[in-house]
């Protein structure tokens, strides 16, 4: 058994340093992005989750953060849709396994109705399939369900400020999706297809470094850019992933004569 289990990670400890690649460090003063900016109006946060235990933990996490306000909770996809009819929130956290539907659809609808809202998918394992599907539907990050409560609050702040987490496996998967030689026969076709974004060299380099285990700070140093620039790259990559998936869908629909 791993001896790590003996080394408890206490909430106070986790507060100061962000976990690798999941959040943007709040202590990074030079970044110019301060996520602890004293905001008079707290961020409005909503949760779509059927598990009462996590709802409770989430509430607790937000209760301890004065800058975050829990404005809505939906336990089903239907409730979530009802919630979407109301005014937009700043951050929406969605669990994928809802009793009456897929959280992916909720994310898609939320992204359409609340374009300014930062959407996170709540996941235990951050497995790339679920996370990438969510990002393609319009999410821009994920929340690890087993994170300590202050980390949850911090992750929400970071996401809202433009920082997206990414794991090496997700980076790898994204790289593969954008690889031009994936379908050599369609290469020319793809090149001619307008609206399908491709990754810039810098973005590719960022992803490659992430797959090799480097943290945002290390990547920034290796690439000679600021940490914020790296974060921007990631957010942009996510945006391209979403656009790409939509364009692909349209293109495929055309190819099959649906459009």
Partner 1 sequence: MVSSSGRVDRPWFAWAFWIISALAIGAVVFFVQAGAGGERITVARLSVIDTVGYQPPPEASLRAVGGKLVTLPHAPKPDFAPVADPSPQRIATRVTWYALTVPPLPDDGRQLYLYIPRWKSDGSLAIYADGRLVSQSHANLQWNGSNQPIWLALPHAAGSHPPRTLDIRLQHVRGIGGAFSSVWIGNFRQLAPRYYVRDFFQVSLPAFSVTAFLATGVFSLFVWLSRRKEPIYVLFFLTSLICFLRMLHTFVGERPLLVSDAWFGWITINSAYWLGAALHLFGIQLHRGSQPILTRVLLINTGLWTIATLPGLLDPTLLAAPIYVNLLLLGSVTAFNFVRLSIKARSRFALWLAVWYLVALVFAVYDVGLQQNLVNIESVFLTNFTGVGLTLLCWYIMFSRYIEALETATQAKADLARRLAQREAELTASHARLREIEHRELLHQERQRLMQDMHDGLGSTLVTALRAFEGDRAADLDAVGILRGCIDDLKLTIDSMEPVETDLVLLLATLRFRLQPRLEAAGVKLVWEAGEAPPLEWLDQRHALHILRILQEAFANILKHAGAREITVSVRAEEGQVVVRVQDDGRGFDPAAASRGRGLANQRNRAEAIGGAILWEPSYCGSRLALILPVKKPSAAASHERSGA
> Interface with partner 1 by CB under 8 A: which residues?
1-10, 13-14, 17, 19-22, 124-125, 127-128, 146-147, 151, 167-169, 172, 210-215, 218
Nearer to partner 1, 51 or 218 (CB): 218
Cβ at position 9, least distance to partner 1 in Å:
4
Cβ at position 224, least distance to partner 1 in Å:
18
Give the torsion sign (CA, 129, 238, 235, 91): negative
Nearer to partner 1, 6 or 41 (CB): 6
Cβ at position 99, least distance to partner 1 in Å:
23
What residues have CB less than 8 Å from 228, skipping those under 6 apart?
31, 32, 33
How distant is the alpha carbon of residue 128 from its chain centre? 11
Give 76: exposed, middle or buried? Use CB within 10 Å, 0-12, 13-18, 19+: middle
Nearer to partner 1, 28 or 90 (CB): 28
Nearer to partner 1, 83 or 126 (CB): 126
Nearer to partner 1, 21 or 71 (CB): 21
Cβ at position 173, least distance to partner 1 in Å:
10
Question: Do the beta carbons of residue 77 and residue 98 sit within 8 Å?
Answer: yes
Gap between the Cα atoms of 48 and 92, Å rounded: 8
Gap between the Cα atoms of 138 and 124, Å rounded: 19
Cβ at position 234, least distance to partner 1 in Å:
14
């Amino acid at each position: 058994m791993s001896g790590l289990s003996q080394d408890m990670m206490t909430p106070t400890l986790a507060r100061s340093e962000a976990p690798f690649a999941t959040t943007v460090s709040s202590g990074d003063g030079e970044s110019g992005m301060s996520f602890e900016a004293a905001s008079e109006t707290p961020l409005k946060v909503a949760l779509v989750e059927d598990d009462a235990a996590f709802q409770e933990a989430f509430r607790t996490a937000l209760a301890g953060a004065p800058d975050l306000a829990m404005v809505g909770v939906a336990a089903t996809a239907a409730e979530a849709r009802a919630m979407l009819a109301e005014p937009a929130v700043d951050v929406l956290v969605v669990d994928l396994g809802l009793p009456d539907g897929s959280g992916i659809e909720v994310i898609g609808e939320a992204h359409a109705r609340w374009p300014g809202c930062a959407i996170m998918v709540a996941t235990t394992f951050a497995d790339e399939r679920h996370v990438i599907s969510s990002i393609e539907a319009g999410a821009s990050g994920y929340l690890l369900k087993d994170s300590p409560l202050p980390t949850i609050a911090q992750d929400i702040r970071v996401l809202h400020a433009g920082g997206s987490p990414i794991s090496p496996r997700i980076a790898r998967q994204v790289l593969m999706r954008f690889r031009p030689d994936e379908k050599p026969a369609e290469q020319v076709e793809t090149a001619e297809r307008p609206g399908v974004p491709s990754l810039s060299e810098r973005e590719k380099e960022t992803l490659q470094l992430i797959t090799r285990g480097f943290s945002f700070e290390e990547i920034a140093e290796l690439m000679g850019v600021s940490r914020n620039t790296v974060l921007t790259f990631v957010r942009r990559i996510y945006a391209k992933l979403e656009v790409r998936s939509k364009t692909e869908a349209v293109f495929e629909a055309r190819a099959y004569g649906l459009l």
